[in-house]
Every structure is written in C-alpha cells, then in structure tokens.
Amino acid sequence: MAVAIAEFTVADRNFVGDILRERYLREVEPEPAEAELRLDPESEELTSCPTLYWSERGAHFVVFKLPGGRFRCQFFYSESEQFGTGIDDYDNLAQCVRTLLQVQSDHERSRASAVSGATAVELGGGDYFGPPVL
C-alpha cells in the first residue's frame, strides 16, 4: 500500500537553509529530491519519500520526510561510507538537521585526527556552531 507523504514546503527548505547558513557561515540551499526507503524493517516494500539534499566539505547530506511528520537523515562520502546519527527517526526537523550536522562535524574531526595524528583538542573540538576552541 503506497503512502503519500507531503513534499517539504518552501518554509521547511528555508528553515533548513537558515540552519545551514548558521553552520557554514554562507548560503547553502538544500535541494529537493526523492528517495525510496524501507519504512518497516520487516517489509521489503519501498516508499517514495520527499528528501532534502546538500553537499558540503566533501560530505553529502540527506534528510527524508516520513509519514506522520517524522524525519530521518544520514550523511555519506561514498556508497560504501554512509553514516546515520544513531537515532532512527525524529519528530522535529530542526533537531534532525542539527544532530546530523553535529554528528558529521564530530566525524570530520575524527577523520582529520586519524589522518594528521592531531588530537581532538588540537583540531578545535567543541560545538560546531561556534569557532574552534584552541
């Protein structure tokens, strides 16, 4: 049985854009897209879900709109490097996007540390909404 899910509104896209501007200190427009998701892990049925997509600093981000006003998200670098936030679904768009950005920021810092040998403190740990703490 196909489930119809309303598209992200212009207000939703602007709201996410505001969060991205806060994160990247410049305009980043989330692009509307569609994705097919398995909403029930026990079922093989795929559901077409409205999606917001953007790419920044080598990472790709997607936020999926689900039935019942819920959201799911992930970021990825390639088909074999995909990451979630550890939370299945969100009922709040802002919390979904902010958590996604925070988890990716933490992951980016960890990757940089692994490559450079620097510690998290040296890489400017702390909240992604503020300047690095040195």
How would you write the pLDDT of the chain (134 residues) with one tens digit per residue?
Answer: 567 899 999 999 999 999 999 999 999 999 999 999 999 889 999 999 999 999 999 999 999 999 999 999 999 999 999 999 999 999 999 999 999 999 999 999 887 776 555 555 555 555 545 444 43
Best CA proximity match to 46, nearest among 54, 34, 38, 57 = 38
Helix (H, G, I), strand (E, B) or coil at 33: strand
The Cα 74–Cα 66 span in angstroms is 14
pLDDT in the model for residue 28: 97
Q: What predicted TM-score, i.e. pTM, was given to this entire model?
A: 0.82
pLDDT in the model for residue 130: 46
CA distances from 128 to 32, 55, 61, 114 (A): 25, 17, 16, 19
Strand order in the sheet with 70-78: 31-37, 47-56, 59-66, 70-78, 81-83
